[in-house]
Amino acid sequence: MTYYSGFVLAVPADKRDDYADHAVKAWPMFKRHGALRMVECWGEDVPHGKQTDFYRATQATGDEVPVFSWIEWPDRATADAAWAAMMTEDHSDMAEMPFDGARMFWGGFAPIVDVS
């Protein structure tokens, strides 16, 4: 069954193109490990909540935009194997990230409803 790795992070507004370039550069690595699709979404209509929201969750500053993204895998086993393998590889060519990775959060998700 399809499995998803989901991510939420904050990116400085003036680093939008750098972020997109970084994501495009990362795609071949994910694809090589079995990913089917990667989607990166730039926040456009992201309201500030009363209890919590994307801004609070990422500790976004006034000049940062929330980003929501996901990677689609054929199944959880492929995702788990991919993440394990990628943790052992050298990614020094991608060491400079256009965002603060310490404020990014992620998780793995199994779909329970999928309608078209």
pLDDT tens-place string over residues 55-76 = 999 999 999 999 999 999 999 9
- Name which of 38, 41, 34 is nearest 9 in CA terms: 41
Is residue 105 one of the residues assigned to a domain? yes
Number of domains the chain contains:
1
* CATH at residue 3: 3.30.70.100
Exposed e or buried b per residue across 53-77, where buried means at least 16 C-beta atoms within 10 angstroms of its C-beta: ebbeebebeeebbbbebbbbbeebe
Q: Domain span at residue 82?
A: 1-41+76-116
pTM of the complete model: 0.91
Name the residue with tokens 């991608």. 94
Name the residue with tokens 């965002």. 99
List, in sequence order, the alpha helices (H) in the chain. Answer: 16-32, 54-58, 76-88
The per-residue pLDDT string of the chain (116 residues; one tens digit each, 9 = 90 and over) reads 999 999 999 999 999 999 999 999 999 999 999 999 999 999 999 999 999 999 999 999 999 999 999 999 999 999 999 999 999 988 777 768 889 889 999 999 999 999 98
